[in-house]
Structure 1
Amino acid sequence: MLPPDNHVHTEFSWDTGPWASMVETCERAVQVGLPAVAFTEHLDFTVWAAEDRASRDGLVDRHPANQRPIDVEGYAASIAECRDRFPELRVVSGVEAGEPHLFAESVARHLAAAPVDRILGSLHSLTEGNRLIGVNRMLTRSGADATMRRYLTEMAQMVRASDVFQVLAHVDYPRRYWPGGRDRYAERPFEAEYREVFRALAETGRALEVNTTSPLASVELVRWFRDEGGEAVSFGSDAHVPTSVGQRFDLAVDVVEAAGFRPGRDRFDFWRR
Structure 2
Amino acid sequence: MIFDLHSHHYRCGHAEGNIEDYIQAAMDRGLHYIGVSDHSPHFYAEEDQLYPGITMPKSELDSYVKEVLSLKEKYKGKIHVLLGMESDYFPKHEAIYKEKYKQYPFDYIIGSVHFVNGISIFQRGRWDRLTNEERLQEKESYYRLIQQSAKSGMFQVLGHIDAMKGYLLDFHDLETLIIDETLKIIADEGVAIEVNTSGKNKDCGGWYPSYEILERAHHYGVDISFGSDSHVPSRIGDDYIEVQDTLKQIGFKEMVYFINKERHSVLL
Instruction: Give the TM-score of the pair, scaled to structure 1.
Output: 0.79
SS of corresponding position for 2:230: coil
Q: CA deviation at 1:10?
A: 1.7
The number of equivalent residue pairs is 247
1:251 aligns with 2:251: no
Q: Report the equivalent of 2:96.
A: 106
1:22 aligns with 2:53: no
1:42 aligns with 2:39: yes
Q: Deviations over 1:86-110 (max 9, x none)?
A: 2221100011110153322221232
After superposition, residues 78-227 of structure 1 pair within 5 angstroms as 78-87=67-76, 88-127=78-117, 132-137=118-123, 138-140=126-128, 142-143=130-131, 144-160=135-151, 162-178=152-168, 184-185=169-170, 187=172, 189-190=174-175, 192-214=177-199, 215-216=206-207, 217-227=209-219
The answer to whether the Cα contact below 8 Å between 1:94 and 1:117 also exists between their aligned partners in 2 is yes
Report the Cα distance in structure 2 between the residues aligned to 1:142 and 1:226, rounded to whole angstroms: 33
Q: CA deviation at 1:77?
A: 3.1
Q: Deviations over 1:89-147 (max 9, x none)?
A: 110001111015332222123213333111111100012xxxx2212333226444442
The answer to whether the Cα contact below 8 Å between 2:8 and 2:229 also exists between their aligned partners in 1 is yes
Q: Report the equivalent of 1:53.
A: none
| Cα distance change, pair 270–219 in 1 and its aligned pair in 2 (3 A) | farther
Instruction: Give the TM-score of the pair, scaled to structure 2.
Output: 0.80
Report the Cα distance in structure 2 between the residues aligned to 1:241 and 1:72, rounded to whole angstroms: 20
| Cα distance change, pair 265–116 in 1 and its aligned pair in 2 (3 A) | closer
Report the Cα distance in structure 2 between the residues aligned to 1:272 and 1:224, rounded to whole angstroms: 20
Structure 1 stretch displaced more, 134-143 or 31-40: 134-143
| Cα distance change, pair 190–90 in 1 and its aligned pair in 2 (3 A) | farther
Report the Cα distance in structure 2 between the residues aligned to 1:73 and 1:45, rounded to whole angstroms: 14
The answer to whether the Cα contact below 8 Å between 1:166 and 1:206 also exists between their aligned partners in 2 is yes
| Cα distance change, pair 195–211 in 1 and its aligned pair in 2 (3 A) | same
Structure 1 residues without counterparts, runs of 5 or longer: 50-61, 179-183
Report the Cα distance in structure 2 between the residues aligned to 1:104 and 1:266, rounded to whole angstroms: 24
The letter of the residue matching 1:76 is V
Q: Deviations over 1:173-200 (max 9, x none)?
A: 111122xxxxx44636546221111111
Identity over aligned pairs, percent:
22
The answer to whether the Cα contact below 8 Å between 2:108 and 2:258 also exists between their aligned partners in 1 is no
Report the Cα distance in structure 2 between the residues aligned to 1:70 and 1:35, rounded to whole angstroms: 31
After superposition, residues 54-65 of structure 1 pair within 5 angstroms as none
| Cα distance change, pair 65–125 in 1 and its aligned pair in 2 (3 A) | farther
| Cα distance change, pair 46–76 in 1 and its aligned pair in 2 (3 A) | closer
Q: CA deviation at 1:264?
A: 5.5
Report the Cα distance in structure 2 between the residues aligned to 1:205 and 1:108, rounded to whole angstroms: 18
The letter of the residue matching 1:175 is K
Q: CA deviation at 1:71?
A: 1.4
